[in-house]
């Protein structure tokens, strides 16, 4: 395929097939929830990675607490929906996509939440040409991803649930509690087939978010995805995602040295926490979230610069351009924070002189 970004079920098709084959060999003891392609245990293995009985390696999709993934998967076997909650850049959307791919074999039943998302994006819409010509009928209905998931017994995804206005959010209450979607114009309803469930993602850090009502919160089991606990864990995440994205984008640059990734991740963690890694120096934090996802973008942007305008090897000059842009969101407040960090933290580090010079050139 020539797609810029493949669906998870296509990108990791070999791994999903290997997991299915392993379950066939142990079919006597394997238990599947209705309409699931894999058992809950295999879904967690797919997410966390591991070696199968035949020696095949499953790559980790989520690097963090296995227990959190077990809770998320267990939730989807019940009648409660799953809400992945956390700061921007904590892999909420990525985990939701991988869960849908492993459980339903289809991660495309997606509703993207925005301030402009209307009720018809979640429930159903109408083909107005047919509606005028024929009146209300099933042929005039525009089926949404939510309705398709209900009919097929699959996982529906809602991205950025808190960006949707409160009155539209509450259209989910009947779907989640009664497992049905009324269509009063046709005097009928759509009943959910076994296997149907909803995975939503949400955060409350960005501007323009709407708090969920108490009634809607009760229909979800919330799993909070934290920022990576350790420096090494976050470096591993960045390294894996950069490698994957670089292959997809076909960037003609060498894989970044571990040293460069370590420095970027260290900067992000220190600015995010407001203290240096050794705990000795307190620093001001910028207005942005300084998420792991942004660190990945900074490294990829540096690779693009190195590939097309450098010698193909990532260096401090290549990283600085994206780094300054990631930190300085507010040109007044963040610039002060960034300059102070450069002078008090980066400059004294002997092996960071190149980072200091490159960042100062762009900042000034």
- Please answer whether residues 288 and 329 qualify as being in contact, where contact means their C-beta atoms are separated by less than 8 angstroms: yes
- The DSSP result for 209-248, as a single string, is --PPPHHHHTTEEEEE-PPPSSHHHHHHHHHHHHHHHHHH
> For position 257, what pLDDT does the model report?
82
Task: Give the bridge partners for 221, in sequence order.
Answer: 82
The 8-class DSSP code of residue 86 comes to -
From CA 196, how far away is CA 34, in angstroms rounded?
9
Can you list the residues of the chain whose pLDDT is less than 70? 1, 28-29, 206-208, 363-364
Which of 225, 247, 343, 327 lies closest to 285, judged by CA?
327
Phi and psi at residue 326, to the nearest 5°? -75, -35
Q: H-helix or E-strand containing 143?
A: strand 141-143
* 230 Cα distance to chain centroid: 19
Provide Rg for the chain, Cα atoms. Answer: 23
pLDDT, position 270: 95
Q: Are strands 110-112 and 155-159 parallel, antiparallel or unpaired?
A: parallel
Q: What is the pLDDT of residue 28?
A: 65
Strand partners, 275: 282
């Amino acid at each position: 395929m020539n797609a810029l970004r493949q669906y998870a079920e296509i990108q990791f098709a070999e791994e999903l097939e290997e997991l299915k084959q392993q379950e066939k060999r142990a079919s006597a003891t394997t238990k599947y929830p209705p309409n699931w392609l894999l058992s809950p245990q295999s879904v967690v293995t797919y997410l966390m990675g591991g070696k199968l009985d035949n020696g095949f390696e499953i790559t980790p999709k989520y690097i963090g607490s296995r227990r959190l993934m077990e809770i998320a998967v267990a939730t989807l076997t019940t009648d409660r929906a799953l809400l992945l909650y956390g700061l921007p850049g904590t892999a909420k959307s990525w985990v939701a996509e991988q869960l849908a791919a492993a459980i339903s074999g289809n991660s495309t039943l997606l509703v993207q939440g925005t301030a402009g998302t209307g009720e018809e994006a979640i429930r159903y819409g109408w083909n107005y040409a047919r509606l005028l010509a024929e009146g209300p009928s099933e042929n005039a209905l525009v089926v949404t991803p939510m309705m398709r998931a209900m009919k097929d017994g699959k996982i529906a995804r809602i991205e950025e649930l808190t960006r949707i206005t409160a009155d539209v959010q509450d259209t989910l209450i009947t779907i989640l509690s009664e497992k049905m979607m009324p269509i009063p114009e046709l005097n009928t309803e759509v009943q959910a087939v076994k296997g149907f469930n909803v995975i939503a993602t949400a955060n409350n850090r960005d501007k323009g978010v709407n708090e969920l009502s108490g009634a809607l919160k009760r229909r979800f089991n919330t799993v909070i995805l934290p920022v990576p606990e350790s420096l090494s864990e976050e470096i591993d995440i960045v390294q894996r995602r950069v490698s994957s994205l670089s292959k997809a984008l076909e960037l003609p640059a060498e894989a970044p040295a571990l040293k460069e990734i370590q420095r970027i991740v260290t900067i992000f963690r220190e600015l995010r926490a407001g203290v240096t890694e050794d705990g000795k120096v307190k620093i001001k934090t910028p207005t942005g979230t300084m998420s792991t996802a942004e660190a990945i973008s900074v490294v990829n942007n540096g690779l693009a610069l190195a590939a097309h305008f450098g010698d193909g090897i990532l260096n401090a000059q290549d990283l600085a351009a994206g780094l300054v842009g990631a930190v300085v969101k507010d040109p007044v407040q963040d610039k002060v924070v960034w300059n102070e960090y450069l002078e008090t933290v980066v400059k004294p580090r002997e092996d960071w002189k190149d980072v200091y010079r490159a960042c100062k050139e762009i900042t000034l």
